[in-house]
Amino acid sequence: MDLQKTPRSMNNKYEVSGVDNRTKWRNFIAFWVLGLCNNYGYVIVLSAAHDILESRFGNNEPIDPVINNSTTINSRNCNELSTGAILLADILPCLIVKLIGPFFPYYIHVRVSICIISSFTGFIAVALGTTKWMTIFGVVLTSIASGLGEASFMSYLHKYSKTNITAWSSGTGGAGIIGSISYAGLRMIFNIETTILVMLIVPISEAIAFWLILVHPKDKIIIDYGVDSQEEIIKFPKKNLKQKFELLPRLLVYAIPLGLVYLFEYFINMGLYELIQFDDIWLNHGEQYRWLQADYQIGVFISRSSASFITFNRIWLMAVFQFLNVILFTTEAILFYVPNIWIIFALTLWEGLLGGGAYVNTFHKMSDEIPSDDLRESLGIVTIADSLGITIAGWISMIGHDAICKISRPIR
């Protein structure tokens, strides 16, 4: 286990000098809120996936398999479409934006404006859409906002100290826990339409954080190399398209483990959560799904907020552990052998810890190892890895969902 205290960056990443504590706190808070708002719509759509499928895409009548014996019952409570279908609508536009975003001109204020407008419109379309296509359009808009926002803000972070990477990562983790819990809680009071309309406060908050709270640096900043060193003025260089593509091969060592972690965890989240059901407990099936999502997001938030205290550099090991989780959750969805839902909650928390840990530690590791003049483009490019893993997971989860739905459901 390669656990260690977070080191002060020693190669090409320097702390910005001449920045007072008030400005540092403003930036930290701003990036936390930006991370929260950027991922909030994405989380809400995934948390609402079960409800959206049930209310907009038809019913969830049980699928009747052929097998029947003394230890099985005849049906599973399966939606006609897996929640993986919602995942694909939520991630494919995000992936496309991330793929092309780093190679287009970097106008941060224009990009953020597009993010906010897309997010606001997407919430309205999901809440008020009367057809499945209107709902999908809303999901696509929230996906575009999330993908463009992550690629843009991660690249923008190269102008700030490394502590703001932790702030951003913690905020994205906070989006998970706050988004899923707020959705699950509000759904106990309101219908799905009212619940999502309440979320319109999120893109408004994103605008406030970016234009009113965040202190924007100039293209030229003053840095120093130590207490007694001389100050130096540098200008962040811009790379052409060829130079950006030349970065790709050396970024695979960061992208592949991160992508695998996300592939495995989203196969679990969107292909298997919906198929795990405990009867005759205090939560019905829909509530179990929502609270499993919330539990997962708690783990993500904890691990994404931990990098200021501890780092874990062996990201590939997290991918191995996440694959073991795939085996556990898949066999549980088929066999129903876990005796208590609290064990599933514990495993789900562990799954979230691995996912969030892989995210924040990947970008912290990059900030330590990649030269400053390559960092902006590199951070933006590697954000593609998680979305690519999630996209593949969406396709696989639909196949796995359909296959398991045809198997007799055992009696627990």
User: What single letter denotes the amino acid at residue 289?
Assistant: Y
What is the C-alpha to C-alpha distance for residues 154 and 174, in angstroms, rounded to an integer?
17
The residues facing 76 across adjacent strands are 63
Whether residue 14 is contained in a domain is answered as: no
Q: What is the DSSP letter of 275?
A: G
Percent of the chain with pLDDT strictly greater than 90: 35
What is the C-alpha to C-alpha distance for residues 189 and 156, in angstroms, rounded to an integer?
39
Closest CA to 382 of 267, 264, 262, 270: 262
Whether residue 9 is contained in a domain is answered as: no
Number of domains in the chain: 1
Note whether 173 and 305 are within 8 A (CB).
yes
Whether residue 229 is contained in a domain is answered as: no
Closest CA to 143 of 163, 168, 160, 123: 123
What is the C-alpha to C-alpha distance for residues 379 and 367, in angstroms, rounded to an integer?
8
Whether residue 236 is contained in a domain is answered as: no
Does the pLDDT at position 275 exceed 70?
A: yes
pLDDT, tens only, 318-361: 999 999 999 999 999 999 999 999 999 999 999 999 999 998 89
Note whether 370 and 378 are within 8 A (CB).
yes
The residues facing 191 across adjacent strands are none
pLDDT, tens only, 357-381: 998 899 889 988 888 888 878 887 8
Find the domain containing 170 and state its range. 20-220+241-410
User: Across 95-99, 213-217, 284-288, which has the greatest mean pLDDT?
Assistant: 213-217
Angle, to 10 degrees, between the axis of helix 49-56 and the axis of helix 21-47? 40
Mean pLDDT, rounded, for 146-167: 88
Whether residue 48 is contained in a domain is answered as: yes
- Mean residue pLDDT across the chain: 81
Residue 93: exposed, middle, or buried by beta-carbon count in 10 A (0-12, 13-18, 19+)? buried
Angle, to 10 degrees, between the axis of helix 372-405 and the axis of helix 132-156? 150
What is the C-alpha to C-alpha distance for residues 291 and 289, in angstroms, rounded to an integer?
6
* Tokens 């055992």 belong to residue: 410
Structure tokens at 131: 């057809």
Task: State in Å, rounded, how far the first CA of the chain is from the last one.
Answer: 36
pLDDT, tens only, 65-81: 433 443 444 467 776 55
What is the C-alpha to C-alpha distance for residues 26 and 32, in angstroms, rounded to an integer?
10
Look at residue 75 in the predicted model and tell me its pLDDT.
Answer: 67
What is the C-alpha to C-alpha distance for residues 134 and 140, in angstroms, rounded to an integer?
10
Closest CA to 158 of 377, 307, 9: 377
What is the C-alpha to C-alpha distance for residues 381 and 202, in angstroms, rounded to an integer?
26
What is the C-alpha to C-alpha distance for residues 69 and 126, in angstroms, rounded to an integer?
42
Does the pLDDT at position 249 exceed 70?
A: yes
H or E segment and range at residue 218: none
pLDDT, tens only, 238-247: 666 677 778 8
The residues facing 312 across adjacent strands are 3
Does the pLDDT at position 290 exceed 50?
A: yes
What is the C-alpha to C-alpha distance for residues 76 and 375, in angstroms, rounded to an integer?
49
Task: Give the domain CATH number at 33.
Answer: 1.20.1250.20
Of the pLDDT bands very low, low, confident and very high (cuts 50, 70, 90), residue 2 is very low
In sequence order, what DSSP letters do the residues of 370-403 get, joined into one string? S-HHHHHHHHHHHHHHHHHHHHHHHHHHHHHHHH
Of the pLDDT bands very low, low, confident and very high (cuts 50, 70, 90), residue 188 is confident
Note whether 173 and 356 are within 8 A (CB).
yes
| Cα→Cα distances 410→30, 67, 68, 76, Å | 49, 10, 9, 9
Whether residue 324 is contained in a domain is answered as: yes
Structure tokens at 306: 């931990």
pLDDT, tens only, 198-239: 999 999 999 999 999 999 987 554 444 444 444 344 455 566
Whether residue 234 is contained in a domain is answered as: no
The residues facing 221 across adjacent strands are 234
Whether residue 12 is contained in a domain is answered as: no
